[in-house]
């Protein structure tokens, strides 16, 4: 394409917005629970729909709320992804180890590995991700370490387009060759960056390539089995890198690489080296073993075959397999049929990977370009692609293509001026120059790894369980709550409003009264650099002397009230009691609140937020001697609009919380704007084929007939077009003008038709999963569509769950906890005026 005109201002104004905050990853060492518009809120983040789940936790679409910005400001609510990981789940670990096949000669998994799988994985993932910053790598923004619940919340860049889907139910490719090229281009850039940082991803596959919501870019995610190699980094730096402490045992320990990690179909021959030669009598694994999408298995040390060196080249192989998948809709190597399991054994797959050539279907891509067969003539249309695949899928890692070569690989006969990867770029030379991995090297030190999560313990939390069960014994069903008490201004509220729509006007509760009421306090986000809090900042919750702490808190509260920019009035009630919840809200002076009844409301015209806290949390905390309170001495940061307006008061009727009611009254907030047209346009433009609705089919997006503008057209996967008309990757950093489009509510969400078009049951080579799609799977699959539909659906689902909540068992609670839901225990005010935790 020739030089392009600068898009009109009106179009620029609607350009996507990239949330790209300056600075390092934040480490937040405490957890606050809120309710925002009926949705759970964790610190600054309102949690919406679950968008994915992995082995170790679920991923949710959240909105980061910046209350300092005015309502309607595009950056007031920014979509982020939040991965919730339970740090300590001994029961799950036990179950997992029980489920593992006990097969003679099957590679032995050391006990330490078994125990440390979750722990080590998350630590490693955080330690690596926190240092990565590249337009084609999923960025980590913040880590919230909820030590009480023993959960880690990883707040990441939200990739609303979901995983790269590459085949239909008939295993036909769904991407055109051109689209595949653009995806590959992004992946190459991201991977190149990782390798230059000394990181081997080890699990490259389509499912770990995530689309941005506008489908302009693809980013690499899931660093759960990634490996930092100091040696590789030194090599990448020409041996001159001295940033790392060479005595760091974790960095220097390359033994982790000998563990087989990744997804079977994408493993390089050197990773499964013991199958390089045909192994008679392959051993079938149970379907359970095959279901683990990303396995981490120690290989047998007794193997007689010398292990080839494992380098970053394993990622190149996996990228080659990925390329093959995108082009042909199937994996290049498959397990032989006829073995014990339905889909062949993992071992026969490995034998195939190590020994077989890969077949070439007659046509390539959705556009069915003739491939020319496995050994095409040089003039065949698909010859260059097969040529490139040949270099990717070299079983000998030394002969395999490097990423640098992928960028410069000439055509099979040298006739093509530019490498296949760059064929649709205006100025490939300039692109190569701009995309050269020149960013600064990162350090992943021992400290980073150990501080990635603090003080993780593998132990049964009997204290917590005891509290849960005792709490549940005394908990009253919410239906028995007397809402009248909450209307009585003389009695301060005892429950949290879950549904803001049920908040009705009632006599204004004088903030003075509220603030002077015992128990009113603020909790402040505690953020700092990604370093573990020094132990001196940790305090045991005080069971004695809490009165003075409380009065301190109140005094501060009073003082702060004079400051209109920093005062927040908090609503002390909860939408739904959580038995045995460990959450607590901390007062600004760092102590767990031991407050008497009291509340203030946090309301604004278009946005209401309530905070739930523990009543008598000190006494509960005292039951759990090892719990800490974090000192958070900074001031609240809520905008004045959060203060309750005169005449408004929150009605405490949690027992009437019903999703139907909530949904029937649901209105987009004032932040909302109709972004459907824009979103659809971006989606279409990202494919680079305006009007090619069949591609939209891939993601089941209803076409709404939006006229693409030139600006939309010139921005695509692999970069944005600069003033010189050259498509370059969007460079992350403070200077980047692009910002993500906030997730907006839709006025009339269209029904989606996300059926299980991938069939049931599904054998997904991409994730090596055998099984039926659950509802959750379908939910997860729907990403990239109209988010608000999902949010809407999710609210509905959650509402239904909520209705059943009261009769649910403790197991339900556990489930919710595992999904990252955290609620406060119910509080009741008895006639004697005392509060009791139930």
Ligand X SMILES: Nc1ncnc2c1ncn2[C@@H]1O[C@H](COP(=O)(O)OP(=O)(O)OP(=O)(O)O)[C@@H](O)[C@H]1O
Residue in 16, 52, 500, 572 binding ligand X, rule: CB under 6 A: 52
Closest CA to 456 of 123, 158, 748: 123
State CA 447 to chain mean position distance. 24
Indicate whether 442 belongs to the interface with ligand X (CB under 6 A): no
Tell me how far the alpha carbon of residue 448 is from its chain's centroid: 20
For tokens 């005109």, name the residue. Answer: 5
Mask of contacts with ligand X, 286-325, x by CB under 6 A? -------xx-------------------------------
For position 444 contacting ligand X by CB under 6 A, the verdict is no
Q: Which stretch binds ligand X (CB under 6 A): 56-64, 108-116, 275-283, 623-631?
A: 56-64
Which of these ranges, 50-58, 279-287, 509-517, 742-750, lies near ligand X under the rule CB under 6 A?
50-58
Residue with the two structure tokens 């120690």: 298
DSSP string, 249-266: HHHH--GGGGEEEE-GGG
- Least CB distance from residue 294 to ligand X, whole Å? 4
What single string gives the DSSP state of each residue in 127-156?
HHHTT--BTTBPPEEEEEEETTTTEEEEEE
Residue of 55, 66, 543, 709 interacting with ligand X (CB under 6 A): 55
HSE-CB of 703 using CA atoms within 13 angstroms: 14
In the bound state with ligand X, the residue whose beta carbon lies nearer, of 666 and 781, is 781
Closest residue to bound ligand X by CB: 54
Contact predicate 43/144, CB 8 Å? yes
654 part of the interface to ligand X, by CB under 6 A:
no
SS (H, E, C) 532-576: CCCHHHEECCCCCCHHHHHHHHHHHHHHHHCCCCCCCCCCECCCC
- Note whether 121 and 158 are within 8 A (CB): no
Interface region with ligand X, contact rule CB under 6 A, candidates 46-54, 234-242, 244-252, 681-689: 46-54
Report yes or no: 632 and 525 within 8 Å, Cβ to Cβ. yes
Contact with ligand X (CB under 6 A): which of 47, 56, 202, 400?
56
16 binds ligand X (CB under 6 A): no
Is residue 138 close enough to count as binding ligand X by CB under 6 A?
yes
The distance of closest approach from Cβ of residue 775 to ligand X in the complex, given in angstroms and rounded to an integer, is 16
Among 145, 146, 163, 765, binds ligand X (CB under 6 A): 163
83 is in an annotated binding site: yes
E strands along 616-688, which residues?
629-630
Q: Could you tell me the CA-to-CA distances from 637 to 352, 488, 500, 564 in Å, in that order?
A: 59, 30, 22, 10
Residue 66 is classified by DSSP as -
CB of 163 to ligand X, least distance (A): 5
**89 touching ligand X, by CB under 6 A:** no
Burial of residue 24 (CB within 10 Å: 0-12, 13-18, 19+) is: middle
Cβ-based neighbour number of residue 314 at 10 Å:
26
Closest CA to 797 of 805, 809, 786: 805
Footprint (CB under 6 A) of ligand X, residues 669-728: none
Q: Which is nearer to ligand X, 642 or 787 (CB)?
A: 787
Secondary structure in 3-state letters for 414-462? CCCCCCHHHCCCCCHHHHHHHHCCCCCCCCCCHHHHHHHCCCCCCCCCH
| Shortest Cβ 783–ligand X spacing (Å) | 6
* Region of 53-61, 352-360, 648-656, 730-738 interacting with ligand X (CB under 6 A): 53-61
List the x/- string, 466-505, binding to ligand X by CB under 6 A. ----------------------------------------
**Residue 47 touching ligand X (CB under 6 A):** no
Cβ proximity of 81 and 155 under 8 Å: yes
Asked if 265 touches ligand X (CB under 6 A), the answer is no
- Residues 828 and 476: their CA atoms lie apart, in Å, by 9
Percent helix, percent strand, percent coil in the chain, to nearest 5: 30, 15, 55
Residue 209 within binding range of ligand X, rule CB under 6 A: no
Q: Pick from 4, 24, 54, 430: which binds ligand X (CB under 6 A)?
A: 54
Residue of 203, 671, 766, 779 marked catalytic: 203
* Count of residues interacting with ligand X (CB under 6 A): 25
Instruction: Give the torsion sign (CA, 271, 276, 278, 280).
Output: negative
**Per rule CB under 6 A, is residue 194 in the interface with ligand X?**
no
Is residue 777 near ligand X by the rule CB under 6 A?
no
Is residue 18 part of the contact set for ligand X (CB under 6 A)? no
Among 49, 59, 319, 714, binds ligand X (CB under 6 A): 59
Half-sphere exposure of 79 (CA within 13 A, CB side): 29
Start-to-end C-alpha separation, the chain: 67
Q: One symbol per residue from 445 to 464: x for binding ligand X (CB under 6 A), - otherwise; what is it?
A: --------------------
Using rule CB under 6 A, residue 81 touches ligand X: yes
For tokens 């309170």, name the residue: 629
Measured from the CB of residue 81, what is the shortest distance to ligand X in angstroms?
3
588 is an interface residue for ligand X by CB under 6 A: no
- Active site includes 241? no
* Binding window for ligand X (CB under 6 A); candidates: 51-59, 492-500, 689-697, 769-777: 51-59
Residue closer to ligand X, measured from CB, 138 or 234? 138
Positions in 139-158 near ligand X (CB under 6 A): 156-158
List residues with catalytic annotation. 203
Q: Which residues bind ligand X (CB under 6 A)?
A: 51-57, 59, 81, 83, 138, 156-159, 162-163, 207, 210, 221-222, 224, 293-294, 780
* Residue list for the binding site for ATP: 83
């Amino acid at each position: 394409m020739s030089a392009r005109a600068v898009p009109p201002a009106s179009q620029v104004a609607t350009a996507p917005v990239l949330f790209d905050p300056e600075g390092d990853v934040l480490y937040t060492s405490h957890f606050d629970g809120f309710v925002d518009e009926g949705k759970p809120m964790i610190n600054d983040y309102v949690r919406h729909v679950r968008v994915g789940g992995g082995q170790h936790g679920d991923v949710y679409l959240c909105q980061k709320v910046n209350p300092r910005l005015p309502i309607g400001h595009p950056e007031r609510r920014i979509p982020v992804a939040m991965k919730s990981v339970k740090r300590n789940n001994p029961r799950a670990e036990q179950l997992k180890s029980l489920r593992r096949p006990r097969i003679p000669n099957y590679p032995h998994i050391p006990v330490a590995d078994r125990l440390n799988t979750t722990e080590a994985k998350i630590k490693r993932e955080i330690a690596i991700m926190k240092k990565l910053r590249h337009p084609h790598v999923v960025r980590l923004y913040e880590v919230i370490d909820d030590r009480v619940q023993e959960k880690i919340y990883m707040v990441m860049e939200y990739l609303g387009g979901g995983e790269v889907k590459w085949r239909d139910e008939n295993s036909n490719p769904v991407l055109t060759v051109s689209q595949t090229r653009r995806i590959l281009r992004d992946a190459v850039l991201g991977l190149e960056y990782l390798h230059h940082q000394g990181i081997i991803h080890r699990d490259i596959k389509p499912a770990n390539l995530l689309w941005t919501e506008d489908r302009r870019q693809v980013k690499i995610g899931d660093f759960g089995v990634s490996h930092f190699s100091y040696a590789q980094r030194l090599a990448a730096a020409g041996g001159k890198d001295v940033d790392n402490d060479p005595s760091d045992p974790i960095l220097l320990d390359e033994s982790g690489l000998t563990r087989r990690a990744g997804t079977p179909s994408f493993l390089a021959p050197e990773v499964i080296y013991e199958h390089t030669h045909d192994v008679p009598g392959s051993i079938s694994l149970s379907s359970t073993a095959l279901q683990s999408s990303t396995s981490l298995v120690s290989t047998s040390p007794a193997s007689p075959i010398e292990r080839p060196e494992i380098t970053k080249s394993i990622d190149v192989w996996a990228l080659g397999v990925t390329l093959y998948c995108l082009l042909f809709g199937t994996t290049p190597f498959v397990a032989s049929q006829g073995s014990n399991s339905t889909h062949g054994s993992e071992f026969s797959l490995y034998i195939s990977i190590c020994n077989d050539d890969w077949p070439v279907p007659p046509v390539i891509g959705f556009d069915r370009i003739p491939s020319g067969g496995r050994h095409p003539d040089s003039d065949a249309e698909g010859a260059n692609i097969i040529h490139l695949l040949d270099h990717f899928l070299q079983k000998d890692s030394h002969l395999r293509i490097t990423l640098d070569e992928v960028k410069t690989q000439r055509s099979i006969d040298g006739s093509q001026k530019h490498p296949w990867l760059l064929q649709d770029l205006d100025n490939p030379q300039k692109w190569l120059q701009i995309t050269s991995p020149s960013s600064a090297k990162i350090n992943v030190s021992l400290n980073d790894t150990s501080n990635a999560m603090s003080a993780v313990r593998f132990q049964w939390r009997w204290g917590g369980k005891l509290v849960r069960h005792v709490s549940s014994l005394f908990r009253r069903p919410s239906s028995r709550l007397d809402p009248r008490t909450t209307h009585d201004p003389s009695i301060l509220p005892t429950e949290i409003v879950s549904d803001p729509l049920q908040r009705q006007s009632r006599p204004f509760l004088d903030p003075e009264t509220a603030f002077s009421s015992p128990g009113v306090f603020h909790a402040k986000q505690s953020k700092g650099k990604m370093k573990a809090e020094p132990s001196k900042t940790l305090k045991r919750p005080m069971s004695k002397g809490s009165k003075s702490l409380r009065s301190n808190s109140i005094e501060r509260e009073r003082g702060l009230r004079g400051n209109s920019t920093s005062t927040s009035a908090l609503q002390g009630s909860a939408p739904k009691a959580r038995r045995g919840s460990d959450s607590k809200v901390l007062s600004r002076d760092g102590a767990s609140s031991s407050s008497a009844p009291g509340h203030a409301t946090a309301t604004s015209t278009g946005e209401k937020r309530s905070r739930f806290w523990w009543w008598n949390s000190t006494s509960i905390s005292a039951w759990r001697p090892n719990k800490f309170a974090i000192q958070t001495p900074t001031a609240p940061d809520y905008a004045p609009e959060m203060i309750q307006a005169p005449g408004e008061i929150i009605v405490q009727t949690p027992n009437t919380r019903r999703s139907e009611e909530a949904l029937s009254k649901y209105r987009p907030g004032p932040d909302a704007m109709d972004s459907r047209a824009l979103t659809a346009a971006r989606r279409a433009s990202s494919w680079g084929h305006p009007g090619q609705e069949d591609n939209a089919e891939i993601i089941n997006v209803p076409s709404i007939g939006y006229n693409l503008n030139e600006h939309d057209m010139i921005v695509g996967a692999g970069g944005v077009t600069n003033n010189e008309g050259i498509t370059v990757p969007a460079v992350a950093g403070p200077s980047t003008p692009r910002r993500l489009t906030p997730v907006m509510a839709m006025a009339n969400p269209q029904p989606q038709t996300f059926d299980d078009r991938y069939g049931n049951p599904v054998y997904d080579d991409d994730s090596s999963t055998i099984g039926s799609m659950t509802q959750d799977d379908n939910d997860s699959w729907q990403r990239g569509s109209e988010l608000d539909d999902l949010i809407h659906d999710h609210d509905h689902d959650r509402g239904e769950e909520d209705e059943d909540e009261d009769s649910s068992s403790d197991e339900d609670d556990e489930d919710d906890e595992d999904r990252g839901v955290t609620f406060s225990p119910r509080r009741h005010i008895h006639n004697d005026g005392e509060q009791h935790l139930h």
